[in-house]
Chains A and B, each alone.
Chain A
Amino acid sequence: MAPESPSSAGFRASDLLTLSPAERRILQWLMRRGSGSVREAAERFEIPEAEAGSRLDALEQRGFLVAEGVAGRKSYRLKFGRSRPAVGGLPSGIWGKLDGS
């Protein structure tokens, strides 16, 4: 299940597998371009600006994004976490997700 509480650890690539396709696509889009505004997200995903804004804000509240600039001209970028020292470890939920459970 997708975590609902803010992630203090920041975004991790494995989080992509626990998000809805719409949320995941926004994060993957930002991974490639570095940052993006509400308008740019709305254009990219062909959705109303209000919807793009609420999706970005929701991802910010969950600790995956940081916003810079003032309202209306905010730009969002990913807030990455550190790699885990135990390299190779992934949240067990991923395997459940692959199993469809």
Chain B
Amino acid sequence: MGKIISVHSFRGGTGKSNVTANLAALLARRGKRVGVVDTDIQSPGIHVLFNLSPERFRYALNDYLWGKCRIEEAAYDVSGVLEGHRLKDAGSLYLIPGSMRTGEITRILRDGYDVGLLNSGFQELMERLELTHLLIDTHPGVNEETLLSIAISDILLLILRPDQQDYQGTAITVELARQLEVEQMFMLVNKAINPQDFAALKQRVESTYHVPVLGVLPLSGDVAILGSGGIFALANPEHPVTSVLEAAAQRIDAA
């Protein structure tokens, strides 16, 4: 059975979607069958990193939640981003995007949806696409969707910046995850400033939360220049940022 991995941050702007897309691509590059669901229905965006323009997707997660399609009909094969970067042939990458239509986003906010469909959609995706890993890109903060994702996850990956607001918020998420007895929890620190401090920072975060830190990513101008125009780790295989992401993907794969 495949693994469900929720990628979460308490606050916005941590680089959560970017990290999710990179980890998904690196896992697929290693021959895994990977799905990514954009459950950030209020502010979807991860499709941009996979070069999937809204004009190209007929159905989105929203359509599935309203019973307009089966979940696999809202899944797009984005394995094309791996071309020229594969280590193994078998890997596949699927994305279930959130709708970018204003009316559909506001409809979710206004009318809600059957949460049971979201839950069964995750399980059906795992089964029908024969996924080894399903990454859930969650909405920042704590809401029903976040709790649902955490509750069904095998692995919870928390993304945080070295920032006092992130530290406090992350403590809440860690506490919730412990109450829900998530099997494995990891952290990834993003947008760290001083490379000389990275080892100490990792140690501080680990000793504060008692959660393993998969790596510390710098605030990178190179990542900013790419501007979500692709998967950074694939475009820059020798970059130090990619090394950290690769190590994180390896750890998740082994978990």
Residues in chain A within 8 A of chain B (CB atoms): 10, 12-14, 16-17, 21, 24-25, 28, 31-34, 78-90, 97-98
Nearest A residue to B147, CB-CB: A13
Residues in A with CB closer than 8 Å to B175 are 98
Q: What residue of chain A has the Cβ atom nearest to residue B175's Cβ?
A: A98
A31 touches B119 (CB 8 A): yes
Q: In the complex, which residues 172-186 of chain B have their Cβ closer than 8 Å to any Cβ of chain A?
A: 172, 175-176, 179-181
Give complex CA distance A98, B142 in Å.
13
Q: Cβ of A80: which chain B residues have Cβ within 8 Å of it?
A: 114-117, 119
Taking CB atoms, residues of chain A closer than 8 Å to B114 are 80, 82-83
CB closest residue in chain A, given B180: A16
When the two chains form the complex, which single residue of A14, A17, A34 contacts B123, counting CB atoms closer than 8 Å? A34
A31 and B142 form a contact (CB under 8 A): no
| A interface secondary structure, majority | mixed
Cross-chain contact A28 with B151 (CB below 8 angstroms): yes
A79-B180 Cα distance, complex, nearest whole Å: 19
Which of B110, B117, B139, B148 sits near A13, CB closer than 8 Å? B148
Query: Shortest CB–CB separation between residue B127 and chain A, in angstroms?
Result: 10
- Are A13 and B116 also in contact (CB < 8 A) when A85-B110, A85-B111 are? no
A90 touches which one: B113, B117, B142, B151 (CB < 8 A)?
Answer: B142
**A88-B141, A90-B142 known; A13-B113 Cβ under 8 A:** no
User: Which of B112, B123, B141 interacts with A32 by CB under 8 Å?
Assistant: B123
- In this complex, what residue of A is CB-closest to B110? A85
A95 closest partner in B (C-beta)? B172
The residue in chain B whose Cβ has the minimal distance to the Cβ of A99 is B175
Residue of A nearest to B113 (CB): A83
Residues of A within 8 A of B112 (CB): 82-85, 87
The docked-state distance in angstroms from the alpha carbon of A45 to that of B125 is 26
Per the bound structure, the CA–CA distance linking A82 and B151 in Å amounts to 17
Question: What chain B residues lie within 8 Å of A24 (beta carbons)?
Answer: 180-181
> Does A90 contact B152, Cβ atoms closer than 8 Å?
no
List the 4 shortest-distance A-B pairs measured between CB atoms, nearest first: A80-B116, A13-B147, A13-B148, A83-B112
Neighbouring A residues of B176 by C-beta, 8 Å: 17, 98
B147, A82: Cβ atoms under 8 Å?
no
User: In the complex, what distance in Å separates the CA atom of A31 from the CA atom of B120?
Assistant: 8
With a 10 A CB-CB cut-off, give which of B42, B116, B120, B176 has the most chain A CB atoms: B116
State A86–B172 Cα separation when bound (angstroms).
Answer: 21
Does A31 lie within 8 Å of B143, measured CB to CB?
Answer: no
Beyond A16-B179, A31-B119, A31-B148, list 15 extra A-B contacts (CB 8 Å). Answer: A10-B116, A13-B145, A16-B151, A17-B176, A24-B180, A24-B181, A78-B116, A79-B116, A80-B116, A82-B114, A85-B110, A85-B111, A87-B143, A87-B145, A98-B175
Chain A residues positioned under 8 Å from B123 (CB to CB)? 32-34
A98 to B178, CA, bound (A): 11
Please give the distance in Å from B114's CB to the nearest CB on chain A: 6
B163 within 8 Å of A (CB atoms): no
What CA separation (Å) do A84 and B172 show in the bound complex? Answer: 22
Report whether A83 and B145 are in contact in the complex, using a CB–CB cutoff of 8 Å. yes
